[in-house]
Structure 1
Amino acid sequence: METDVPLALKHLARLLDLRKRQGDQPYRVVITLAASLNAEVRKAICHSESWSDLRAYLQQLGLRDRLGVLAHGLALQEASQNLNGYRALARLCKQGYFTMILTGGIDAWLERAFTSENVGLEQLCQLVLGRESEIYLQEKLRDHARRREILLLKLFGSLEAGLLASDFPDLLEFRSPLREILERELNEDLIVIGSPTQEEAILRLLSTTSRSSIYYVSPQPPAEDDRLLRIIEARHRESAPFLIWGTYGRPTHFFAGLEALLSSRQALTVTVTELETQSAAFPAAAAQQAVEQRVVSPPAALLTGSARAPQPRLHADVLLVTVTEIEAQAVLALFSQVERYYIEEKTYYLLGEVGGTSLVMVQSEMGQGGVAGSLLTVSEGIRHLQPRAVIMVGIAFGLKPDEQHIGDILVARQILAYELQAVVAREGQRSVRLRGDRVTASPLLLDRCKSGAKSWSGQRVQFGLLLSGEKLINDKEYRDQLQALEPEAIGGEMEGAGLCAAAQHHKVDWILVKAIADWADGFKHVNKERRQRKAASNAARFTLHVLAQGGLAPLATGPNWIES
């Protein structure tokens, strides 16, 4: 056994040994997508290590081709090393150290490892999201401990089964009541293998107030803004005693090292002084390695989602504006690295570059008015960042449920503020008409969105008039009144009027891209979270698809005018 085994690994081995002897619940194991679809595999598939590049590349392919290129990329990896590591895991499961594994891997290495260790179907329950019914999944997850079986749940699909998650390579949400069951399981003691940047659905379920432990295993030290790292720090005040990185952060070395410690029953004793020494040593070493690994060369003609080094003064070619937390998370989930900048009262998120265009996101409060509404948020964002264009991304309500579907993407050709009305009574009859102007979006951005829509393989994109006002509408009668006033309108929302007013004042190109989350018909609460997440994700993905075409990068003299 090597002498440089991390103290956190020794401590974990000691705890696992104690749990087994005392008959306590085992740790749950989460193996992320990044553990198998690592940087080398991603580069083999799309010539880039960036998750954003991989996402953009896969979105251009049909399901069969996606499965084919993923299988080819994974086959290039050294399968024997992965199999050896997973065989160690299989032996640990046979011995009772682990009974539940959630894996983002779509390959069959885990299953082959269990087979090679003679773990049969009577001992191993293999589940794939999307293959089994939700009722069956719920039953197995609830009863696996009582049945004393090893449960293996594949989260992103399976190459062998020909299944791939619809949002691959992202895991955005679990449906209820499966979500509640997994939330309970994931807030028990946990070991996470690999960076969970793609497992948004899991990160959202992890409580910062739980007293359960999370051990984080990764080849590289996590960045300061790593969300899992923040959760660990919130639970335990410090993270170093729970981090295993470097050589033993690789799955094959981690499981082999853990098995060696447990089988030899070595040491399994770690003093408080040793852990404190590790805590003190970790930040400097981790920070240095993080800096060394920060620079990534982006590929030509592909989406580059790597964040750039901090700048003395933040600048953006394009400012993305979101409102709700779901909208903001839908955008942030598309980038592997995000840097925060604090300018006066607002937080700005440096996302990186897409199609040669630098992107920053800011989050507004709901509505156009107020000190943090869209009007002032966009105005201040333009003043601080000097962007060439502003794009508002998020969710809206649809006005044509017979023609439209939840998740359809609405691009505002024009925006009409419906709050400005003339209400006139004549001969005992009241008439209402809208007095606001139809404000047309930037011809440049409309052109780029239309061009992007031609190669977009996602849900339907519709261009037209959107209504904008301060009211959160969830009443069919009122919605129908608005539609009668403007029959051409295809949808409505609350912040667009502030966007176009601010952008026009500063002479900056603007457009609004939002997807349908409900019909404003009194049933907004039905499947609310699922619908909103779907709509926000569709709008964010389409926006990045448009930007990835590169049509905004050549702008050099300003937003949609020519200097004389």
Structure 2
Amino acid sequence: MFLRPYISLTRTNIHRGVSRLFFKASSTSSVVTRTQFSHRKDASLLIRSTTRRYSGSSEGDGVTGHLENSLLWTKDELSQIITKQGQAPLPPNLNDRILNQVQVLLLTVNKNEFNATKSLLEPLKGHDSIFTYHHRLDSLHSTDTAIYYIGQYGSCVAAISKIDPGSALRTGVSFAPNLAYHCFRNLGAIIAVGVACGVEGKSRMCDVLVSSKVVNYDKARVEGGGFTSRGEAIPASGYLQQIFSQSEWPHVSKDICSRLSETSLPEIHQGTILSGPYLIDDAKFKAKLLKSFAKEAIGIEMEGSGLFAATHQTRTHCILVKSVCDFGDGKKNKTYQPTAAVLAADCVRHVLSDPQVPGMLSNQTMMKNNYQSE
């Protein structure tokens, strides 16, 4: 006996990107998910049925399974939600008041990460639209403009920004924190939200990885056909690690994760994440990195080392929250990126929904005293 969920996205929750779930019994050999999005008086934007199947493996610690043919979220679906969100430029007379309320900066890189995170952003209390704020990069050699999307994310006032991939570019993650400090005087935390490469035996497809520390594999000595690490692991914020470790997500997520069957709910894994300049899609190279830098690593991505280096000296609280979208084994594709990005964004939103978090983030002295170095 299987369950067949029917999901509809209504006007009242379009900004949350959430759903209401109705079950009907079915005796078929797979779970069929039917999604229907609606907004205001518009007709249905999308009705799509896909077969969803979960396969596991007993290899390693038993969590090497992955989602097969999972198209619960697609790039087009996320775009549909984004285009229906109300947004407006931040009025000049509200600049200081709104900018000073921002407590969390959510950094995304690719379009799937950005759309997934923004789809869960809501207008600030007392306002009808998400605010956009354009900040010109004040540099002799740059005419770039950073765009922030400001609204309510859980219980916190947050700004979302889409940056270039990697750490070295002038519009990349290494420069994002310093720019944000000029815009948001009361910024309490920076969270990189998105997708990452998983490690077989330590996570399943679309599981969420939360960094306890980041190891930069770009800082190494190359000899004898191998690498010797020359860098130090930089720890994530002890406070942010604590609130993520205490989270009951996804079991308490009654909207996004209600689209998944109980046996295929994603899990949160906290641990070391490798970070560097390469987009990994080679099993042998990945194995060499893990062996040389951090055998215990649970994932690999490209922005963490730059973010942690930029924020560690100022003791700004930061952490990586990224969902597994591939295993860097030569089979990389973007099939799972939208679903993985949505799950990572939903995990962050749930953690930031704790009513105590805004108070902690607003108390900079307390936050710095609670910052834990390893």
* Contact residue 399 and residue 483 of structure 1 kept, 8 A: no
Shift of 1:310: 7.2
Once the two structures are TM-superposed, the CA of residue 541 in structure 1 deviates from its matched residue by 0.6
Q: Secondary structure at the match of 1:506?
A: coil
* 1:446 and 2:241 aligned: yes
2:281 is the alignment partner of 1:474: yes
Does the C-alpha gap of structure 1 residues 376 and 128 become closer, same or farther in structure 2, counting only changes over 3 Å? closer
- Mean CA deviation greater in 543-552 or 409-418: 543-552
1:517 aligns to 2:312 (yes or no): no
Cα distance in structure 1, aligned partners of 2:204 and 2:93: 41
Query: d(CA) in 2 for partners of 1:384 and 1:133?
Result: 45
Decide which structure has greater strand share: 2
Would the aligned equivalents of 2:202 and 2:298 in 1 still touch at CA under 8 Å?
A: no
| TM-score in terms of structure 2 length | 0.69
Matched, 1:460 2:246: no
Letter in 1 for 2:107: V
Q: What does 1:148-227 align with in structure 2 at a 5 Å threshold?
A: 172-173=73-74, 200=78, 202=80, 223=86
Query: Does structure 1 retain, via aligned residues, the 8 Å contact 2:81–2:119?
Result: no
Could you tell me whether the CA contact under 8 Å between 1:332 and 1:351 is conserved in 2?
no
Equivalent pair of 1:321/1:378 in contact (CA under 8 Å) = no
Cα deviation code 1:132-180 (max 9, x no counterpart): 879xxxxxxxxxxxxxxxxxxxxxxxxxxxxxxx99xxx8428xxxx8x
The structural deviation recorded for 1:51 is: 4.7
1:453·1:461 contact (CA, 8 Å) conserved in 2?
no
- Equivalent position of 1:8 in the other structure: none
Number of aligned positions between the proteins: 298
Tell me which residue corresponds to 1:399: 199
TM-score, length basis structure 1: 0.47
Q: Which runs of 5+ in 2 are unaligned?
A: 1-6, 25-34, 53-69, 124-129, 137-144, 253-264
5+ long unaligned stretches in structure 1: 1-31, 43-49, 68-101, 111-126, 135-165, 180-198, 207-215, 217-221, 227-306
Residues 549/473 of structure 1: CA separation in 2 closer, same or farther (3 Å cut): same
CA distance in 2, matches of 1:562, 1:33: 45
Corresponding letter in the other structure for 2:95:
P
The answer on whether the counterparts of 2:272 and 2:299 sit within 8 Å (CA) in structure 1 is yes
C-alpha distance in 1, partners of 2:242/2:213? 13
1: distance between equivalents of 2:279 and 2:226? Answer: 23
Distance 1:376 1:436 in 2: 20
CA contact (8 A) 2:87 2:132 kept: no
User: Contact 1:33/1:103 (CA < 8 Å) preserved in 2?
Assistant: yes
Q: Does the 8 Å CA contact 1:366/1:374 hold for their aligned counterparts?
A: yes
Is the 8 Å Cα contact of residues 211 and 321 (structure 2) preserved in structure 1?
Answer: yes
* Aligned equivalents of 1:321, 1:203: Cα separation in 2: 19
Q: Does 1:415 align with 2:221?
A: no
Select the residue among 366, 378, 382 that pairs with 2:177. 378
CA separation of 1:325 and 1:353: change in aligned 2, threshold 3 A: closer
Residues 397 and 505 (structure 1), Cα distance of their counterparts in 2 relative to 1, 3 Å cut: same
How far has the Cα of 1:473 moved from its partner?
1.4
**Of the two structures, which has the highest relative contact order with CA contacts closer than 8 Å and spacing of 6 or more?**
2
In 2 relative to 1, CA 103–450 (structure 1 residues): closer, same or farther, beyond 3 Å? closer
Q: Which of 1 and 2 has greater Rg?
A: 1
RMSD: 3.6
Describe the SS at the equivalent of 2:339.
Answer: helix
User: 1:329 aligns to what?
Assistant: 115
CA distance in 2, matches of 1:310, 1:332: 24
- Residue deviations 1:166-222, cap 9 Å, x none? 99xxx8428xxxx8xxxxxxxxxxxxxxxxxxx635468x9xxxxxxxxx9xxxxx9
1:373 is displaced (CA, Å) by 1.2
Q: CA deviation at 1:322?
A: 0.7
Matched, 1:497 2:309: no
